[in-house]
Structure 1
C-alpha cells in the first residue's frame, strides 16, 4: 500500500513573537546595531581600560536604552511619514506591509520618544543634550512641514550631523563627565568623530540608491536622482576610501592614544575589502544594491570595534 509522503507541519508562530519580529523590522536593525556599537565604543574609550568594563555598567545600560529608544523614535517617525513610498521602496517594513497599523506605529514612536527623553534626563546634562538634539533633527528630517529629507543636502546633513558629530562628541562628553568627572574630549575621539562624519556622508548618499523608483514617483529629490546610481557608487567608494586613508595617516603620524600598527593594518585591509566587494555590485539589481548598502553599514560597525581596540591596546 502506498503511503503519502511525510509533509512537515508548519506551526503558526505565536502572535506575540510575530509582533516582536515586526517591531524588530520597524526598528531598522542596522541602525540599532550601529547605535549600539557607538554607545559601547565611546564607553570603552572613556574607561581607558577594558578591565574596568563592569565598573560603570549602570551608566552604559542607561545610555544604551536611551539611545536605542531615540533611534526607534527617529526611524519609526520616518516610516510613519513614508508609508506609501515604502510600499514601493521597502514593502517588507511593517507599516508598508500592513503588519502594524499607523496607530500602532504612532504609539511606538510616541512611547520611545518620551522614554528617550526621560532616560536622558536621568542620565545627565550631556546625555539629554545628545538625545534631545538627535530627536529634534530626526523630527525635522521626516515630519512636515519641514521634512528636510526632501532636500538632498539637508537630508545628508541630518544624517552625518547626528551620527558623526552629535553622537560621538555628545556621548563621549557624557561618559567622561559621569565616569571621570572630566569634560574634555580626547584627541582620539576627535579622530573618530572626523572619520564617522565623513563615512556617514557615504551612507547618507548611498542609502537612496535602492529607493530610486519610489523617490522618483513621490518626487523626493535625492542625490541618486540628480546624479545617477553609478556616480553615487563612485562617490561613496571614494568617500569611504578617504576615511580609511585618513586613518592610515593617523597611524603613520602616531597620534597619542591610538595604536599605530593596528590602525594602519586594519584600515588597509578594510580598504582592500571595500574595493574587492564593490566589484560585484550590479546597479540594475535592487537586491544587490541593498546588500551592498548593508555591507557599507557593516564596515561602519567594524570601525566602532576596531577603533576602541586601537585606543585600548
Structure 2
C-alpha cells in the first residue's frame, strides 16, 4: 500500500472527504476518462477501484507528488521536504510600509495636495509685494494649511467609514473595504485628526481659520453621515453643490480673509483675483462632484444613491462636465482679456486655452466601460485644478 503524507489544507480546500481520514487532498488533474474514487482508511492508505494495490518499500523515502495541488485562489502548492516549514514572517519595515500605504489610501493624498496648493495660493492673493512675504506671514500660512489638512483627513476617513459597504462593490481595494485597516483604526484616524485640526486652528489665533475648519467639518459630515436630512452625497444635486461649498467657498473666502486681515493687517477688501478664483473653483468643484461618480454607478445603484450618473447615465454626464469646464475656461479667457497688464493677458488667455484643449482631448479618450480610464480622467481634472491655482495669480 502506497503510504502518502496528508497535506495540511483548510477544510474549504478539501473537496474529498471520507471517514477515517483527517486530512485530504484533491489532484487538479484527472488522468483517466472513467471516474476514479479514492478511499482513505484509518491506516491512511489509498485504494483505486479496478486497479491493483501498490506496496510501498519502507526503506525508501516517500514519493513526492508528480503534480502540484491546486488551491482555490489559482495558485499551486508543490509538496516538498520542507512543507511543514512555517512561512517567513514579514519584517517590521514591511509591516510599517504596508500600513502607511493603507493609511495614505484612507486619507487620499491627492486631496491633501489640493489643500496645500489651494490654501497657500489663496493666502498669497492679497499680497502686493515681496516685502509682505515675511517669516511671520509664511508661518501663518503654514498654520492654516496644517489645520485644514487634518480636518480634511478626518472627512476623508469619515466618508470611507460611512461608505464601507458601497466601497466593497465600487472600490474594494480601499483599506477599510478590503480589511487592510480595521474599522476601529479608521474611526481613530477620523476622530484624532478632527480634534488635532480644531486644536491647531484655535492655537493659530486666527478666527477665520477656526471658522474654516469648523465649517469644513460640519459640511463634510452632512455630506457623508447617513442620518435624516443628511448624507447629501446620495441626492442628485446636493452632492456637487456640497463640493461647491467646500472647494469653491470655504477654501477661498475664510483663507483670503485670514491672509488679508490677520496676516497682512489690512481691512477686508474684495479684489478681482479673489472673485475670479471663487468663480472658477466653484465650477471645478461642481464638475468634480459629478465626475467622481462615474466609476461608482454599479455600487450607487445597488444602495439607492440617486446621483446624476445613476439617473442620466455616464454617456450624458461626461459631456455635461466637459462643456461646463469649457464654459469656465471661456470665462477665464474673457477675464484675462480685460486685464490692464500685457503679461497678465498673455498668461491668462494662453494658459486657459491650453488647459481647455488638454481637457477636451483627454475627455475624448475616456472609456466609460473601464474603471481606470474614468478614474484617470477624474485625477487629470485634479491636476488641472492645481495649475489653475497658479494661473489665478496672473489675473491682475
- State the match for 2:112 in structure 1: 32
Offset, 1:257 = 12
SS in 2 for 1:284: coil
Aligned-partner SS, 2:126: helix
Once residues 49 and 134 of structure 1 are traced to their aligned partners in structure 2, the CA distance between those partners, rounded to angstroms, is 30
TM-score, normalised via structure 2 length: 0.73
SS of aligned partner of 1:210: helix
DSSP 3-state at the match of 2:295: coil
Residue by residue, what CA displacement relative to the aligned partner does 1:16-74 show, whole Å, maximum 9, x if unpaired?
A: 22222211111112211111110111122233345754532211211111010011111
1:20 is aligned to 2:105: no
1:231-246 correspondence to structure 2 within 5 Å: 231-246=316-331
> 1:202-281 alignment to 2 at 5 Å?
202-254=287-339, 259-281=344-366
Please say which of residues 111-120 and 248-257 is displaced more in the overlay.
Answer: 248-257
What secondary structure sits across from 2:197 in the alignment? helix
Quote the offset at 1:207 in angstroms. Answer: 0.7
The whole-number CA distance in structure 1 between the counterparts of 2:282 and 2:138 is: 27
Contact 2:276–2:392 (8 Å) recurs in 1: no
Could you list the runs of 4 or more consecutive aligned residues of structure 1 that deviate by over 4 angstroms after TM superposition? Answer: 50-54, 255-258
Residues 296-311 of structure 1 aligned to structure 2 (within 5 Å): 296-308=381-393, 310-311=394-395
- Number of residue-to-residue matches in the alignment: 303
CA radius of gyration, larger in: 2
**Pick from 75, 79, 82: which aligns with 2:160?**
79
Matched, 1:167 2:257: no
SS at match of 2:251: helix
Deviation at 1:305, TM superposition (A): 2.2
Unaligned runs of 5+ in 2: 1-89
Instruction: Calculate the TM-score normalised by the size of structure 1.
Output: 0.91
Take 1:110 and 1:152, find their aligned partners in 2: how far apart are those partners? 29
> Could you tell me whether the CA contact under 8 Å between 1:44 and 1:50 is conserved in 2?
no
Aligned-residue RMSD, C-alpha: 2.1
Matched, 1:157 2:241: yes
Closer, same or farther: CA 59–257 of 1 in aligned 2, 3 Å? farther
Aligned residue among 123, 126, 133 for 2:215: 133
Write the distance in 1 (CA, Å) between the matches of 2:169 and 2:353. Answer: 38
State yes or no: 1:110 paired with 2:191.
yes
Q: Structure 1: which 5+ runs fail to align?
A: 1-10
Larger relative CO (CA 8 A, sep 6+): 1 or 2?
1
